Amino acid sequence: MKKYERPDAVVIDEVSEGVYAASGATCWKPGIKQTQDWNGQAAVYEISLSHTNKVTHFSESCTIQVYFGGSIITSAWAEGTGNYEVKDVGSNTLTIKRIHHANGEYSGDEVTYKLFAFAGDEAGTKALTKEPSVTVLACEKTGTPNYPDID
C-alpha cells in the first residue's frame, strides 16, 4: 500500500468550482527530454520539475518514476553525489528520488538535473526512447512556512 498523502487544496478562480483537490504529489509537474543518445557511457536525459505556485510547503524530496517502454536499463545514475537515489535498475522503469532540497514556497520553483541510463551496450542505449514517460510519485513535505492554514 502506498503512503497516504493529504490532498492538496488549491483555490483557482478561473474554474467554476473554484477549488481543486487531489491526492498525491500534484505539486510537481515533471518533464523529460534526451540531451545525448550516447556520451561514451550512457544516454543522457534532462529531468525537469516545476513546482506549482498555488500551494506552499517545503519539499524535502521528490520521487519520480521514468518508464522506458520495452528497454531494460542495466545501469543508471543521476547527477550529483549523495543527493539522488536511483532504484529499479534491471527493469524498464527507474525510480529516482532527489533528496535534501527545500523549495516550493509559493515560488513556482524549477528544478533540473541529469539522468544517465545504460541499456547493456552502445546500440541498445542509442535505441532508448528520446522521451520516456515520467510520473511524480511523491513529494516529501517537511512543513508549511509561516502559513498555518495552508499545506
Distance between CA 62 and CA 137 in Å, rounded?
Answer: 8
Q: Is 62:97 a contact under the CB 8 Å cutoff? A: yes
Instruction: Give Cα separations from 81 to 38, 64, 77, 151 (angstroms).
Output: 21, 18, 9, 30
Q: Which of 49-53, 61-65, 107-111 has the highest mean pLDDT?
A: 61-65
- What is the model's pLDDT at position 61? 84
| CB neighbourhood size of 123 (10 A) | 9
**pLDDT band per the 50, 70, 90 thresholds, residue 117:** very high
- Select the more confidently predicted residue: 23 or 118: 118
Per-residue pLDDT tens digits for 7-40: 444 444 443 333 434 444 578 899 999 999 999 9
Domain boundaries in the chain?
27-143
Distance between CA 18 and CA 122 in Å, rounded?
Answer: 51
At 34, list the grid cell: 534526451
SS3 123: helix
- What is the model's pLDDT at position 15? 39
Distance between CA 130 and CA 79 in Å, rounded?
Answer: 18
- CATH top-level class for 27-143? mainly beta
Is the model's pLDDT at 85 over the cut of 50? yes
Q: What is the pTM of this model?
A: 0.76
- What is the model's pLDDT at position 16? 38
Is the model's pLDDT at 128 over the cut of 90? yes
Q: Is 107 left (phi over 0), alpha (psi -120 to 50) or beta?
A: alpha
